[in-house]
Amino acid sequence: MSKLIVGVAAIVGGVGGSILLFWFLSAVVDRLPGRWSERLRPYAFIGPALLLVSVYLVYPALRSVRDSFLDDRSESWVGLDNYRQLIDDPSLRSTLINNVLWVIFVPISCIAFGLAMAVLADRLPARSESISKSVVFMPMAISAVGASTIWLFIYFWRPAGRDQIGLLNAIWTGFGNDPASWLQRSDFRLNTILLLIIMIWAQTGFAMVVLSSAIKGVPEDTLEAARIDGATESQIFWRITLPQIRSTVAVVFTTITIGVIKVFDIVFVMTGGNFDTDVIANRFVKELFDFRRFGQASAIVVFLMVVMIPIIVYNIRSFREQEMAR
Amino acid sequence: MTRRILRLLAVLTALALLAAACGDSDDTDTSDGGDSGGSEEARTSDGGGDLAGESVEIFGAFSGDEADRMRDTLVPLIEATGIDVTYVDSPAFDTEITTRVEGGNIPEIAFFPQPGLLLDIADQTGATPVSDYLDLAALEASLIPGFLDAATTDDGTVFGFPVRMAVKSALWRPLPAFDDAGYAVPATIAELVALEDRIISDGGTPWCLGMESGPATGWVGTDWIEELMLRLHGPEVYDAWVNHEIVFDSPEVRAAFEEFEKLWGKDGNVVGGSAGVLGLGFGDSTDDLFTEPANCFLHRQGNFITGFFPEDVQEDLDSNVAVSYFPPLEGGYEGNPVLAGGDLALLLNDTPAARAVMEFLASDTYGVEWASAGGWLSPHVGFDASVYPTQVERDLFAIGANADVLRFDASDLMPGPVGTGSFWTGMVDWIGGQRSLDEVLSSIDESWPS
């Protein structure tokens, strides 16, 4: 009950407060002499958002950079020690290999499956198209923790001789094999591959929806012209459709890549980073919350940030390109 | 136009709802302990009166039913002295006690599950040593030997004492399966190994040993190493190991790992082999004790594990399961060491009323109400064991009471990056075969903070 009251109060206070704030700012700007009023109006509206972003994003980012040069309690300067420790850690190499596997496989697979779904669904009657797309999109509605729990049951293992309630082992033993403890199989990073399949499963829907709308935006006359010239369907796809949605593909690719670099929840739920499945973001959580080594945790975050900045820049550029093409 | 505004409002509302759902209010339970309860004779020597109405707050980690039972134990004190004692719990005790101390909102008394944190806070606040308000020698004689060591600083000052005991050196066996098969409770590790061989030759699997515990996987293994360290080398080496005076990559620690490998590495000795050790939940793995016929006959785990037994077993514990002392190792440390834990009380705000409460908590008859309700073991050797409702609890208490030395969980005492980090993952990597014993031992040493 008290939660309900808090919820209602938050809605009334939050929405009402925002309306009041903007109403007040706009009233203030209105009072100003003509030229100033016009000049300041955009800032009156964008100002609060800028303020929030700097308080909740810019400040913490700068602070993380500072903390990464401080000791575990963020009290005295230690120079580059945190970075040195990070690099010297023998398990870092294994972690980075996993991150690279994630970054290579997940975005490409999502785009490939998403594109295939989008193109194929485009040819279905409207009703079947929307049903099939909804099904593929549905995992997007599940949180990563929820999705991981579902897949935990798919990969579930029990000793030989017991009922195998895991789907994969039910099939595997159905072929006469001994049940395999999938998540412990680190040869050829099999377990990491099994984990990243979860992300592909969850993110393909996103890729499909965005790419599908881009495909539908491809002007019909270009396709028609190609058909009249006798192009095959696969030629049309590779030479007419794909070049026209290139920037959308880039946006989807970079968006998923950013999500993949940050991946933490799937690993945390499935293996906790054990059995050589650790990823960089999970190490950050361990350092911060389990070991309370703020310096080390900040160094990991700064490392992640540095890796991600070029991808984000590319993402924004592609997005602009895409907007301009419209 | 109006439609557009309406749509905008709808979006804003949805966002606010989301924000409200995320910013959940966490209500701290601050109900006080003065509800009903049996009127028993007062057990404090203090002649009440002058302290009546004084308030004392006890801050601790256990909550729910346990908190209610804890409050019941305070009723006799409240009735006898009129001190207004309240018990406040927090699910995030560790972080909250730190912030409360830093913010100056200090409770009179706090119960620490972690001795390391108790000593940190005692040092930070300049807390009152136990010898200032209690007869330390008498307390030490009343408690299980070694219990106070955990709350003693390097220079020998004792800051806390236990108000509850958890026993880890417990060997569980299923009834009646174990007796029906004609097996006998082993008194030494050699007898235990002979029993394993006999169970295997009878076509059974001796051990249930599951370590899976989500992101905390590995702690079951560290408990095993600690148990074996105590049995191989005794408390002095154990303490040196906890302080990293003896490193992991040393003959002593290596011997404990090798001793443990004889158990999980032996063919057919553990349900599911090494994959089972790492893949089966520490709680779920006990299910196999109670199958028909029993899938396994032995399990080593702390007294809390009864809460993970199947429900029908919990309802009638004594006819389904029995517990005995995890046996000593011949040729190792001579004596009965016990791996244990407990909540340790620290006096943070030294008032006369708080002293009276501490005196009450330190009594060897404290906790009768909770003991008879179940789920609580006294840290005092002389506690009346007949109060416990089950034979299992009487036996668990006896394991503690018969110990000639008690040690806390070493991984809890080691620095976080080791105790909840590399020691855990080291166990997993070693048993899973991702890394060799050499690699694991040296990487744990490397992770020790300088």
> Cα separation of A129 and B192, whole Å?
65
pLDDT digits (tens, 9 = 90+) for B357-386: 999 999 999 999 999 999 899 999 999 999
DSSP bridge partners of B158? B152
Quote the minimal CA–CA distance from A115 to chain B in Å.
30
| Torsion angles phi and psi, residue B212, rounded to 5 | -65, 130
Tell me what percent of the residues of chain B surpass a pLDDT of 90.
75
**A286 and B9 in contact by Cβ < 8 A?**
no
**B428 and A91 in contact by Cβ < 8 A?**
no
pLDDT digits (tens, 9 = 90+) for B52-88: 889 999 999 988 889 999 999 999 999 999 999 999 9
**A272 and B21 in contact by Cβ < 8 A?**
no
Residue A293, chain B, CB below 8 Å: the answer is yes
Top residue of B98, B296, B425 to mutate, by most chain A CBs within 10 Å, is B425
Q: Which of A119-133, B2-16, B248-262 has the lowest mean pLDDT?
A: B2-16
Q: What is the pTM assigned to this prediction?
A: 0.83
> Among partner residues B217, B275, B449, which is closest to A181 by beta-carbon distance?
B275
ipTM of the complex: 0.81
DSSP bridge partners of B323? B172
Q: To the nearest 10°, report the CA torsion of B402, B404, B410, B412.
A: 50
Q: Which two tokens stand for residue B245?
A: 């005076």
* pLDDT given at position B417: 87
Q: b vs e for A116-147, b when ≥16 Cβ sit within 10 Å of the residue's Cβ?
A: ebbbebeeeeeeebeeebeebbebeeeebeeb
- Other CB atoms closer than 10 Å to residue B35's CB: what's the count? 10
DSSP bridge partners of B85? B56
* Residue A309, C-beta contacts closer than 8 angstroms, at least 6 positions apart: none
pLDDT digits (tens, 9 = 90+) for B283-324: 999 999 999 999 999 999 999 999 999 999 999 999 999 999
Which among B121, B62, B116 has a CA at the least distance from the CA of B367?
Answer: B62
* pLDDT given at position B132: 94
* DSSP code for B129: P
Quote the minimal CA–CA distance from A306 to chain B in Å.
25
**A291 and B217 in contact by Cβ < 8 A?**
no
> Do B402 and B395 form a contact (C-beta atoms < 8 A)?
no
3-state DSSP assignment of residue B119: helix
Element (H, E) at B110: strand B109-112
> With contacts defined as CB-CB under 8 Å, which chain B residues touch A300?
none
* Residue B15, C-beta contacts closer than 8 angstroms, at least 6 positions apart: A14
> Among partner residues B17, B218, B278, which is closest to A11 by beta-carbon distance?
B17
Chain A stretch 263-292, residues whose beta carbon is closer than 8 A to a beta carbon of chain B: 268-269, 272-276, 286, 290-292
> With contacts defined as CB-CB under 8 Å, which chain A residues touch B276?
159
**A274 and B425 in contact by Cβ < 8 A?**
yes
> Do A129 and A121 form a contact (C-beta atoms < 8 A)?
yes
Which among B191, B133, B182, B162 has a CA at the least distance from the CA of B407?
Answer: B162
Residue A85, chain B, CB below 8 Å: the answer is no
**pLDDT of B10 over the 70 cut:** no
**B25 and A268 in contact by Cβ < 8 A?**
no
- Which burial class, exposed, middle or buried, applies to A62 when counting CB atoms under 10 A from its CB (0-12, 13-18, 19+)? exposed
Confidence of residue B98 (pLDDT cuts 50, 70, 90): confident
Residue A11, chain B, CB below 8 Å: the answer is yes
Quote the minimal CA–CA distance from B276 to chain A in Å.
6
Q: How far apart are the first and last CA of chain A?
A: 49
Which among A45, A249, A223 has a CA at the least distance from the CA of A123?
Answer: A223
**B443 and A90 in contact by Cβ < 8 A?**
yes
* pLDDT given at position B4: 54
DSSP bridge partners of B407? B339
* DSSP code for B293: S
**B428 and A274 in contact by Cβ < 8 A?**
yes
**B275 and A3 in contact by Cβ < 8 A?**
no
Quote the minimal CA–CA distance from A91 to chain B in Å.
9
* pLDDT given at position B49: 55
Top residue of A164, A181, A276 to mutate, by most chain B CBs within 10 Å, is A181
- Other CB atoms closer than 10 Å to residue A250's CB: what's the count? 18
- Provide the CB-side half-sphere exposure for B85 (13 A, CA): 28
**A181 and B21 in contact by Cβ < 8 A?**
no
Q: Which two tokens stand for residue A64?
A: 């993380």
pLDDT digits (tens, 9 = 90+) for B17-48: 444 444 444 433 333 433 333 333 344 444 44
> Do B299 and B171 form a contact (C-beta atoms < 8 A)?
yes
Residue B10, chain A, CB below 8 Å: the answer is no
Furthest C-alpha separation in chain B: 89
Q: What is the sign, positive or negative, of the torsion defined by CA atoms of B415, A289, B429, B189?
A: positive
* DSSP code for B377: B
- Residue A156: what residue type? F
pLDDT digits (tens, 9 = 90+) for A200-219: 999 999 999 999 999 999 99
> Cα separation of A203 and A136, whole Å?
9
Searching chain B, which residue's CA lies closest to the CA of residue A156? Answer: B279
Residue B275, chain A, CB below 8 Å: the answer is yes
> With contacts defined as CB-CB under 8 Å, which chain A residues touch B217?
272, 274
Quote the minimal CA–CA distance from B252 to chain A in Å.
24
Interhelix angle A81-88/A294-325, rounded to 10 degrees, is 80
> Cα separation of B24 and B257, whole Å?
45
* pLDDT given at position B203: 94
**B416 and A290 in contact by Cβ < 8 A?**
yes
What average pLDDT does this structure show over B246-256? 97
Residue B216, chain A, CB below 8 Å: the answer is yes
Quote the minimal CA–CA distance from B67 to chain A in Å.
23
Residue B293, chain A, CB below 8 Å: the answer is no
**A90 and B9 in contact by Cβ < 8 A?**
no
3-state DSSP assignment of residue A225: helix
For A170-287, list the strands marked E by DSSP. none
* pLDDT given at position A39: 85
**pLDDT of B93 over the 50 cut:** yes
Interhelix angle A246-261/A190-216, rounded to 10 degrees, is 150
Residue A90, chain B, CB below 8 Å: the answer is yes
Residue B449, chain A, CB below 8 Å: the answer is yes
3-state DSSP assignment of residue B344: strand
Searching chain B, which residue's CA lies closest to the CA of residue A6? Answer: B20
> Cα separation of B163 and B367, whole Å?
8
Confidence of residue B267 (pLDDT cuts 50, 70, 90): very high
* pLDDT given at position A31: 87
* pLDDT given at position B3: 52
- CA A273 remoteness from chain centre: 19
Q: DSSP of A136-172, one letter per residue? A: HHGGGGS-HHHHHHHHHHHS----TTS---SHHHHHH
**A274 and B416 in contact by Cβ < 8 A?**
no
* pLDDT given at position A223: 92
> With contacts defined as CB-CB under 8 Å, which chain B residues touch A293?
416-417, 449
Q: Which two tokens stand for residue B24?
A: 């959940």
**B25 and A159 in contact by Cβ < 8 A?**
no
For residue A90, whether the previous peptide bond is cis, meaning omega lies within 30 degrees of 0, is no
**B25 and A6 in contact by Cβ < 8 A?**
yes
> With contacts defined as CB-CB under 8 Å, which chain B residues touch A14?
12, 15-16, 19-20
* Residue A83, C-beta contacts closer than 8 angstroms, at least 6 positions apart: A68, A299, A303
* Residue A230, C-beta contacts closer than 8 angstroms, at least 6 positions apart: none
Quote the minimal CA–CA distance from A226 to chain B in Å.
41
Confidence of residue B206 (pLDDT cuts 50, 70, 90): very high
Top residue of A290, A294, A296 to mutate, by most chain B CBs within 10 Å, is A290
- Which pairs with CB-CB distance under 8 Å and at least 24 residues apart come from B130-136? B130/B158, B130/B159, B130/B160, B130/B161, B130/B347, B131/B157, B131/B158, B132/B350, B133/B347, B133/B350, B133/B355, B133/B358, B133/B359, B134/B161, B134/B358, B134/B359, B134/B362
Which among A136, A325, A320 has a CA at the least distance from the CA of A245?
Answer: A325
DSSP bridge partners of B337? B405
Quote the minimal CA–CA distance from B10 to chain A in Å.
10
How large is the C-alpha radius of gyration of chain B?
A: 24
* Residue B160, C-beta contacts closer than 8 angstroms, at least 6 positions apart: B112, B115, B118, B122, B130, B151, B344, B345, B346
**A18 and B271 in contact by Cβ < 8 A?**
no
Quote the minimal CA–CA distance from A139 to chain B in Å.
20
Q: Which two tokens stand for residue B252?
A: 């002593």
> With contacts defined as CB-CB under 8 Å, which chain B residues touch A291?
415-417, 420-421
**A11 and B20 in contact by Cβ < 8 A?**
yes
Q: Which two tokens stand for residue A86?
A: 């990070």
For residue B293, whether the previous peptide bond is cis, meaning omega lies within 30 degrees of 0, is yes
Q: b vs e for A207-243, b when ≥16 Cβ sit within 10 Å of the residue's Cβ?
A: bbbbbbebbeebeeeebeebeeeebeeeebeeebbee
Q: Which two tokens stand for residue B94?
A: 């560790």
Q: How far apart are the first and last CA of chain B?
A: 66
Searching chain B, which residue's CA lies closest to the CA of residue A282? Answer: B215
